[in-house]
Structure 1
Amino acid sequence: MNDAEKILEFLQARISDDEFEANLCLRAYSQGKDVSGRRWKRVLAECVAKRTIIAQHETWPVLVSEDPVMEEYPTDLRGFAMRASQQIMWLTERQYIARFGTAAPTAPMIRTLAAVYADHPDYQQEWAPETPNTSPLRGEDEQ
C-alpha cells in the first residue's frame, strides 16, 4: 500500500469515527439531552463533504503530456521535413501513481484534510501538508 492509499484509508476511518460520534450525539439530542443538535448536524454534513472530496480526488482526471517527439520524414521534393508529435492523455489518481510512481497533483488536498486529525495516534507526520499549519488550535498545548 503506497502513502496515498494509507492517507485515504486513515482519512476514511477518521470520518467514520466522526459520523459515529455525531450520530450518538444527535440521538442524545433527540432524547432531550443537553447537546447541540445543530453542531452535530454540521459535523455529519462535513463528513459527507470530505467523502465527496475524496471521491473527486480518486477520479479527478489529470492531464499528462509527454515531451514532443521530432521525426524526420521524406517529402516529394527529394528532401525531408520534420514532424512533431506529442501524446496527451487523462489519468485518474491511481493511474497516475501506477505510471509515474508519485502522488497525483490532487494529493495535497487529501493531506490537508488528513492533517485535521494530526493528534490521532495513527496519523503519520510525513503526511503533513507542505503549507504551514494555520489551524486556530495551533500552539494551544504550548501555552
Structure 2
Amino acid sequence: MMVAMNIVEFLEARIAEEEAGILDGSFVVGTSELPGDGGEAKGSLGERMQEECAQKRAIIASWQEAADEEGIEDPGEAQGTVAIARRAMLTILAGSYRDHPDYDPGWSPELPTDVTAGEPTER
C-alpha cells in the first residue's frame, strides 16, 4: 500500500532504511581500494555507504533550510531558479529509488536526454 508522503519524507525514510541495513549487516561490507591517487587509503564499503547516507542527508538539510527561509512547505511549490535547482537535487536523489512502492512518478526529474559529451575542460 502506498503511503502519501512528500519527497523529503520519502528520501529520509529510504536513507534510514539504508543506514539500518548497513548497521545490521544486511549489506556485505568488505574492504575495497579507493580510486587511484597513489595513496594507501582503504575503506570499508560500509563506511563509504554510511558517508553517502550522510551526504544525502546534507542535501536534504540544505533544501530544508532554504525552504524554511522562503516559506516553502512542499518542494513542488518551489519557484525561481535556485529553488528549482535545489528541488532538482531532491528529485535526482529520489530517482535511485524508482522501484520502491512509495515512489511517486511525479517526482521524476525531466533531465535532458539529447546532451552530447563534449571535450573535457581543463582545471
Structure 1 length-normalised TM: 0.54
Cα gap change, 1:59/1:8 in structure 2, threshold over 3 Å: closer, same or farther?
same
Task: Give, in whole Å, the separation in 1 of the partners of 2:72 and 2:18.
Answer: 30
TM superposition shift of 1:97 = 5.3
- Pick the aligned partner of 2:77 from 99, 102, 105: 102
Task: Give, in whole Å, the separation in 2 of the partners of 1:96 and 1:121.
Answer: 26
Structure 2: segments with no counterpart, 5+ residues:
32-43, 114-123
- Pick the aligned partner of 2:54 from 48, 57, 69: 48
Contact 1:8 1:54 in 2 (8 A): yes
Contact 1:22 1:43 in 2 (8 A): yes
Does 2:108 correspond to 1:128?
Answer: yes
Contact 1:112 1:129 in 2 (8 A): yes
TM superposition shift of 1:124 = 1.1
Moved over 4 A (4+): none
TM superposition shift of 1:36 = 1.3
Contact 1:115 1:129 in 2 (8 A): yes
Identity %: 37
Residue aligning to 1:8: 8
Task: Give, in whole Å, the separation in 2 of the partners of 1:96 and 1:41.
Answer: 34
Structure 1: segments with no counterpart, 5+ residues:
29-33, 62-90, 134-143
Computing the radius of gyration from Cα coordinates, the structure with the larger value is 1
For these two proteins, the number of residue pairs brought into alignment is 91
